[in-house]
Chains A and B, each alone.
Chain A
Amino acid sequence: MPPICNQNPNLDIFPDVLTGTLRMDAYRLADVEAVLPRLRTGDPEAQEALFRAFEAPVYSLARRICRTTEDAEDVVQETFIEVFKSIGQFRGQGSIWGWVRTVASSKALMRLRRNKYRDTDDLVDDVAPMKREDPALRMDLEAALERLSETSRAVVWLHDVEGYTHEEIAGMMDRTVSFSKSQLARAHARLRKWLGEEAIA
């Protein structure tokens, strides 16, 4: 039986659905058409192939949205359990990664709501103002992203990196389109400040 998981990334399989770095990181499913029927029967080998193909992008998405690695790992597990359970619902419209990503986004946002994280960006901003004029004190992008509130970071990641529209984000978060837009603007204003771009302006 030919292997259904190939560790060499093949950019032709999912050309438009993975972001740059994730695409480079992702394993590929050698033959999606062959794997899907096996997934529907609960074949453990096919399940592992799907898991290995997408665990990295799912974890990245979850880790960018959730506060802790433990939460992100839980989201990965919940996502694949859900995917294996509901694979019969996937009709092959759109890419399988698009579908897995939607499940992962929903799970990550659910975890945010469940944990009722306290938004901390206002507090931190007040306590530790940036010295804009000193480039050495500028945050790097990772740190600035981490510093955003969970909600703002989720909107930034889903919109700017994963490519969801404000309408889609509003639907997933059970909020309004205006909420998504204002969160994105607020987040970018903060990133601009924390990254020291105000000084440049």
Chain B
Amino acid sequence: MTHLSMEQLLATREPGLEPQVRNWRDHIEICPVCRAELDRLDQRVARLRALPGLRPSRDLFEAVRLKAAADRRAKQGRRVLLGGLALAASVTLAAVMINGRQDHRTLVAADPELAEMMSQSKGLEQALSGFDQDRQVVDGRAVAVTSSLEDQLARVDQQLEAVGMLEAEARQARMIKLWRERVGLLDALVDVHLTGARYVGF
């Protein structure tokens, strides 16, 4: 008689009624060797569960408390930065309108692509502001990516501020390029936040 392998014995302990597993269970009923092996397996698992609990040799809470507080401060800093970015975008837009030789509405109306980019940018900023920063769990890599994206966004906003100095034709082409870039960066930021949210969704 062929006896069951360890993998087969373990499978008989799992819930489920697959035909193959049923056959193995039937075999155990008539095979004293496999019955004894299964008993030993059950006992081994019971002994594993009965192993004594372990405790750390030192109190770890103070370190946890300090790190949690530092993380909370860092998150608040990021929230302030994001708020600052939204404000900077509004100021930039205002600067372009004031400094530009062409009225903003005329400029946007003349270029549907620019209007579309601005609209997308606004939508993404609203999406970003909708994320509750305190409820986001972001791992180290996500923090680095977020910081990099926010830095790039700040640079784009600075460049947008300077656009008003250009001649009308150059200004329009430059603005489309920068707004497109801005939408891409905001889109990536939203992605990071969504990924962070999935990460904690155990």
Q: Is the CB–CB distance between B61 and A20 below 8 Å?
A: no
- Beyond A80-B68, A188-B10, is A21–B44 a contact (Cβ under 8 Å)? no
Contacts A85-B68, A192-B40 given; does A73 touch B51 at CB 8 Å: no
Q: How far is the CA of A186 from the CA of B6 in the complex (A)?
A: 8
Q: Are A200 and B40 in contact (CB under 8 A)?
A: yes
Known A-B contacts A48-B61, A188-B44; A88 and B132 likewise in contact (beta carbons under 8 Å): yes
The answer, among B37, B50, B53, B202, for a CB contact under 8 Å with A201, is B37
The CA-CA distance from A86 to B198 in the complex, in Å, is 12
**How long is the Cα–Cα vector from A26 to B67 in the complex, in angstroms?**
24
A160 touches B7 (CB 8 A): no
Q: Which residues of chain B are near A160, meaning CB under 8 Å? A: 45, 48-49
Given A99-B202, A189-B6, also A21-B53 (CB < 8 A):
yes
Bound Cα distance from A19 to B137, whole angstroms:
29
**A92-B61 Cα distance, complex, nearest whole Å:** 24
- Residues on the A chain within 8 Å of B60, using CB: 55, 73, 76-77
Of B50, B64, B132, B137, which is in contact with the most chain A CB atoms at under 10 Å from its CB? B64
Whether B48 contacts A60 by the Cβ 8 Å rule is: no
Interfacial residues of chain B within 18-58, with CB under 8 A of chain A in the complex = 33, 36-37, 40-41, 44-45, 47-58
Q: Are the C-beta atoms of A145 and B48 separated by less than 8 Å?
A: yes
Chain A 156-186 interface 0/1 with B at a Cβ cutoff of 8 Å (1 = within): 1100110000100000000000000110111
Answer whether residue B135 sits at the interface, using C-beta atoms and an 8 A cutoff: yes
Asked if B5 is at the interface of the complex by the 8 Å CB criterion, the answer is yes
Bound-state CA distance A193–B52 (Å) is 22
**Which of B68, B132, B134: most chain A CB closer than 10 A?**
B68
A77 contacts B50, C-beta separation under 8 Å: no
* Complex Cα spacing A161 to B33, Å: 25
Question: How far is the CB of A16 from the nearest CB of chain B, in Å?
Answer: 13
Q: Which of B10, B37, B63, B68 is A181 in contact with, Cβ under 8 Å?
A: B10
Report which of A52, A99, A185 forms a contact with B7, defined as CB distance below 8 A: A185
Q: Are B40 and A56 in contact (CB under 8 A)?
A: no
B71 on the interface (CB 8 Å rule)? Answer: yes
Q: A112: CB under 8 A from chain B?
A: no
Q: Does B144 contact A (CB under 8 A)?
A: no
5 extra interface residue pairs, beta carbon distance < 8 Å, beyond A60-B55, A64-B54, A73-B56: A21-B52, A48-B65, A77-B63, A186-B6, A192-B41
Q: Name 22 A/B residue pairs within 8 A (Cβ), A-sorted.
A: A21-B50, A21-B52, A51-B61, A51-B64, A60-B55, A80-B64, A81-B67, A81-B68, A82-B137, A84-B68, A85-B137, A89-B135, A141-B44, A142-B51, A156-B48, A161-B48, A181-B10, A181-B11, A184-B10, A188-B41, A197-B40, A197-B44
